[in-house]
């Protein structure tokens, strides 16, 4: 077997959440008077980058606003079931059936990863689930993928990573894994040129795996 493990990104790969996250942030920034009109795209980014952009020079206020943001939406969890990418469960079942060791490696916070797994009852699919915030550096650094491979007990040469964003693809590429890029419904024009394979929709992964395993 050419590959022994497969590691999935979360947002944009398994759930099409980036527009939902962006809408929440924009509503919060408008409410507290932060002008985000000149902010860069945060697609595939992480909390540290996002909140340092919003509050660059005051870490105390930055932490306080982030906690305020969390509190505001504490009783309105992300509706992951509604945002699942078509074929998500089918793909996870198939990968498990192929005997691949399975990992989840997200740039999002640990509590977000846990909420996602709990809501959709996906914990048993993954041998390893990691947040980039648990590593020395988050994506686009390769740390979260290197740690996932270490915990799975596989080499980069035997690992397939499924990503969508340019930042995530760069992280997986630096880690030395084979990178398959998928395109979420809400972001058809991502730069995925650094990926080894560009599949389009997530379901296409199954046909590709049938030919290369």
Helix (H, G, I), strand (E, B) or coil at 158: helix
In DSSP notation, 31-79 reads HHT---TTPPP-TT--HHHHHHHHSSS-HHHHHHHHHHHHHHTTTS---
User: Is the model's pLDDT at 35 over the cut of 70?
Assistant: yes
User: Is the model's pLDDT at 107 over the cut of 80?
Assistant: yes
Helix (H, G, I), strand (E, B) or coil at 178: strand
Domains delineated in the chain: 5-17+80-212 (3.40.50.1000), 18-72 (no CATH)
The residue count for the chain: 213
User: Is the model's pLDDT at 89 over the cut of 80?
Assistant: yes
pLDDT at res. 106: 98
pLDDT at res. 212: 81
- State the DSSP code for 160: E
Contact criterion met (CB below 8 Å) for 172 and 152:
no
- Cite the DSSP H helix spans in 121-156: 143-152
User: Is the model's pLDDT at 1 over the cut of 70?
Assistant: no
User: Is the model's pLDDT at 213 over the cut of 80?
Assistant: no
pLDDT at res. 128: 98
Terminal Cα-to-Cα distance of the chain (whole angstroms): 5
| Angle (nearest 5°) at CA 108 between 140 and 124 | 115
Question: What is the mean predicted confidence (pLDDT) over 58-79?
Answer: 94
pLDDT at res. 188: 81
User: Is the model's pLDDT at 211 over the cut of 90?
Assistant: no
Question: What is the mean predicted confidence (pLDDT) over 124-139?
Answer: 97
Q: In this prediction, what percent of the chain has a pLDDT beyond 70? A: 100
Kindly report the pTM of this predicted structure.
0.95
Contact criterion met (CB below 8 Å) for 171 and 140:
yes
| Angle (nearest 5°) at CA 167 between 195 and 99 | 55
Residues 155 and 6: their CA atoms lie apart, in Å, by 11
Residues 84 and 17: their CA atoms lie apart, in Å, by 8
Residues 37 and 134: their CA atoms lie apart, in Å, by 30
pLDDT-derived band at 78, boundaries 50, 70, 90: very high
User: Is the model's pLDDT at 185 over the cut of 90?
Assistant: no
pLDDT at res. 133: 96
Residues 90 and 102: their CA atoms lie apart, in Å, by 14
């Amino acid at each position: 077997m050419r590959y022994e493990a497969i590691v999935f990104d979360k947002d944009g790969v398994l759930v099409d959440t980036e527009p939902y996250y962006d809408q929440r942030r924009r509503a919060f920034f408008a409410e507290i008077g932060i002008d985000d009109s000149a902010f860069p795209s945060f697609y595939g980014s992480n909390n540290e980058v996002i909140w340092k952009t919003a509050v660059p020079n005051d870490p105390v206020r930055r932490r306080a606003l982030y906690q305020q943001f969390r509190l505001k939406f504490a009783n309105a969890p992300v509706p992951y079931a509604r945002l699942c990418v078509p074929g998500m469960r089918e793909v996870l079942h198939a990968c498990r059936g192929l005997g691949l060791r399975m990992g989840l490696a997200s740039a999002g916070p640990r509590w977000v990863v846990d909420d996602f797994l709990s809501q959709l009852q996906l914990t048993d699919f993954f041998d390893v689930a990691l947040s980039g915030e648990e590593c020395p550096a988050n994506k686009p650094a390769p740390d979260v993928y290197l740690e996932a491979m270490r915990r799975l007990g596989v080499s980069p040469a035997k690992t397939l990573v499924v990503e969508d964003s340019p930042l995530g693809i760069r992280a997986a590429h630096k880690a030395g894994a084979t990178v398959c890029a998928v395109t979420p419904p809400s972001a058809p024009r991502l730069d995925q040129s650094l990926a080894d394979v560009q599949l389009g929709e997530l379901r296409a992964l199954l046909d590709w795996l049938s030919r290369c395993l």
